[in-house]
Structure 1
Amino acid sequence: MLLAGCSTGPSQEVRVGNAERSYRYTVTLADQLVAHTRETFPDLTFDLNKQAGADDWSACTDENYVNGGQPEVYQWGASRYMTIRPAYPPGTVQLIEPIAQAYIDAGWTIRRDNRDQATSPWFDLTKDGTLISFAARSLDAPPEWNNTLNIHVYGPCLDSPNDLGEFDRNDPDAYFDAH
């Protein structure tokens, strides 16, 4: 008896559908966090320095793959970089807890709390395989440094679509519209 085909894991159609849902959720959550940050501190100005291609996928494992290819398992990431005015010395680490509290109240759990770290303090929350990471300006940073707060969102690990390597982080809709 011959098997005409054998499949492991979800179909390409399911993987692309999961990719789009996870991408949209990850990006939307990052944007909601920026809006929530601004609402939490209305007296401060948060200049969003969203860099082109800041929303992209990355491998969930250390497997090797070539440019134009993709890993077997990946996750979406969305990063938002904010400069805060007026300067809110010392550093921006004290802004994290009031921002994160609404998410903690909604069932997110603290994964890592390194806000007391002298260089690169950060704070991570997790829920349902998604991670929110806040990276603040160090408390002892030189006064001439910009006050920054960076927010990173990482979605859950997913099985890769066969053509994920064709995703263009500068034109994500093109990839999803092609399916």
Structure 2
Amino acid sequence: MLIEREKKDYVLMRFAEVMLNYAETANETGNSDIAKGILIEIRERAGILPGADGNYGVVASTREEIREAILAERNIEFAFEGHRFWDLRRLRMLDRLDGTTKHGVEAIAVDENGTELSLSVGRELASSYALTEKDFKYQVLQVPRSGVQSNVLPENYYFFPIQQAVLDRNNQLEQNVGWGGTFDPTLE
């Protein structure tokens, strides 16, 4: 018996990510003009005004400045999509998070008088798509509310540990340095 499943499309990568990846590659291979042009295209596409100089707020000119502009644009373009940590990890810039605190936005359903609704009532209204952005109040909270309040990211976060099940299958593998092993994945 053949059961047909419902087919669903999902976004693997947005066009903006393709453009920003291209900009990063162009910049790192010495084509900074192409990279800057792509940043301008992204900002134009987002509806940002060109400004008097026609550069849509892009003021970077050197390779390093354009690298930072691309990283900043990725942070804006992919806000709340979970890219920031991986971008900083990939570029070996996790130290930028040291000493920072993480914040989140809490949305609380309210009635027309601004009185908070109970969680069960808010959930029921949300489930029936009866709420819009005006039906909420928002507050910024530090995350987590208790426990570690300041980020400290050690060097070993650049290379995660090899799973024990993988190590058990091959006795020639060594665990990464920083995770109880002797293998240096940087190959230095």
TM range (shorter): under 0.3
TM-score, normalized by length of structure 2?
0.18
**Which protein, 1 or 2, shows the higher relative CO under an 8 Å CA cutoff with sep ≥ 6?**
1
The structure with the greater share of residues assigned to strand is 1
Q: Structure 1 length as normaliser, TM-score?
A: 0.19
- Which structure shows the bigger proportion of residues in helix conformation? 2
